[in-house]
């Protein structure tokens, strides 16, 4: 019987204005109000819990992880090589909150969207130089996009020697290596590049990261409770 009351009450609560519903509830037998108040309190309690849950994710956990990611970013930037500065600039903290699954993540590393226009070295008489889009319009085809997300792994792990005439074990028919962008002729082969693991210092700081996260969570919980 109570379920019928509940269905009827919910129907009127949705279709009537707040004033009409209140007036209608007052005109009904007392057990209508009892059923309404018992069931109305449950959704509100759930909403209150969800609100507290989301506040903890947003104001306690996420800032703690971001603080740890910022700490790691400083270590990565201190070790990262700098030719044009694009790789260093791309290093930074990233993260996201997923309230539905109670998941918060953060990371420190190469971020996307930091590609920079690089002018051919023959245009500036030296190492590649970062420039603006306005300059590239005047240079025509003598520029390209350098995106750290595409080459950071080569810097970190290095690469083996490159030999003309073969690409991943398949013959190419080429007799020499030539960079048409910079106008550089390399000859029959190019030596491998040494690994520069600029992430190593950050990856070794597991204990420090745990400490930062725990301390920040404790501090943020105290602020939330005030």
CB-CB contact of 129 with 119 (8 Å): yes
CB-CB contact of 94 with 62 (8 Å): no
Provide the pLDDT for residue 160: 85
CB-CB contact of 94 with 105 (8 Å): no
Does residue 118 sit within a domain?
no
Does residue 205 sit within a domain?
yes
Read off the pLDDT of residues 35-81 as tens digits, 9 standing for 90 and up: 666 666 656 665 776 788 888 999 999 999 999 999 999 999 999 98
Does residue 130 sit within a domain?
no
Does residue 58 sit within a domain?
yes
What is the spatial distance between Cα 80 and Cα 91, in angstroms, rounded to a whole number?
Answer: 9
Provide the pLDDT for residue 170: 75
User: Is the model more confident about 32 or about 55?
Assistant: 55
Does residue 36 sit within a domain?
yes
Which band of pLDDT confidence, cut at 50, 70 and 90, is reported for residue 217? very high
Residue 86 is classified by DSSP as H
Does residue 62 sit within a domain?
yes
Does residue 74 sit within a domain?
yes
* Paired tokens of 172: 């190419």
Choose among 163, 224, 166: nearest CA to 192.
163
Spatial strand order of the sheet with 116-119 comes to 129-130, 116-119, 143-146
Provide the pLDDT for residue 120: 52
CB-CB contact of 191 with 161 (8 Å): yes
User: Is the model more confident about 126 or about 108?
Assistant: 108
* Paired tokens of 116: 């920079």
Does residue 124 sit within a domain?
no
Per-residue pLDDT at 107 exceeds 70: yes
What is the spatial distance between Cα 69 and Cα 74, in angstroms, rounded to a whole number?
Answer: 9
Choose among 104, 199, 105: nearest CA to 148.
199
Residue 59 is classified by DSSP as I
User: Is the model more confident about 24 or about 89?
Assistant: 89
State how many domains the chain has.
1
Read off the pLDDT of residues 157-213 as tens digits, 9 standing for 90 and up: 988 888 887 777 777 777 787 776 566 777 778 888 888 899 998 989 989 999 999
Provide the pLDDT for residue 78: 92
Q: What is the mean pLDDT of residues 18-37?
A: 75
Which band of pLDDT confidence, cut at 50, 70 and 90, is reported for residue 136? very low
CB-CB contact of 146 with 87 (8 Å): no
Provide the pLDDT for residue 171: 73
Range of the domain at 19: 2-112+199-225
CB-CB contact of 97 with 214 (8 Å): no
């Amino acid at each position: 019987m109570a379920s019928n009351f509940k269905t009827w009450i919910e129907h009127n609560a949705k279709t009537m204005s707040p004033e009409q519903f209140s007036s209608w509830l007052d005109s009904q037998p007392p057990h209508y109000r009892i059923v309404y108040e018992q069931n109305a309190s449950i959704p509100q309690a759930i909403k209150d819990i969800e609100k507290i849950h989301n506040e903890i994710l947003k104001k306690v956990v996420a800032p703690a992880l971001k603080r740890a990611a910022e700490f790691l970013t400083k270590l990565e930037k201190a070790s990262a090589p700098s030719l044009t500065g694009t790789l260093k600039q791309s290093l930074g903290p990233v993260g996201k909150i997923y309230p539905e699954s109670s998941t918060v993540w953060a990371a420190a590393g190469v971020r996307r969207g930091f590609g920079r226009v690089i002018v051919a070295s023959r245009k500036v008489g030296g190492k590649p130089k970062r420039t603006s889009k306005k300059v590239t319009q005047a240079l025509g085809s003598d520029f390209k996009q350098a995106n750290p997300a595409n080459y950071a792994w080569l810097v970190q792990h290095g690469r083996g020697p490159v030999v003309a005439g073969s690409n991943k074990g398949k013959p190419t028919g080429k007799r020499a290596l030539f960079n048409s962008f910079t106008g550089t002729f390399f000859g029959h082969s190019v030596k491998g590049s040494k690994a520069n693991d600029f992430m190593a210092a950050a990856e070794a700081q597991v204990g420090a990261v745990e400490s930062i996260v725990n301390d920040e969570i404790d501090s943020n919980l105290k602020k939330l409770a005030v």
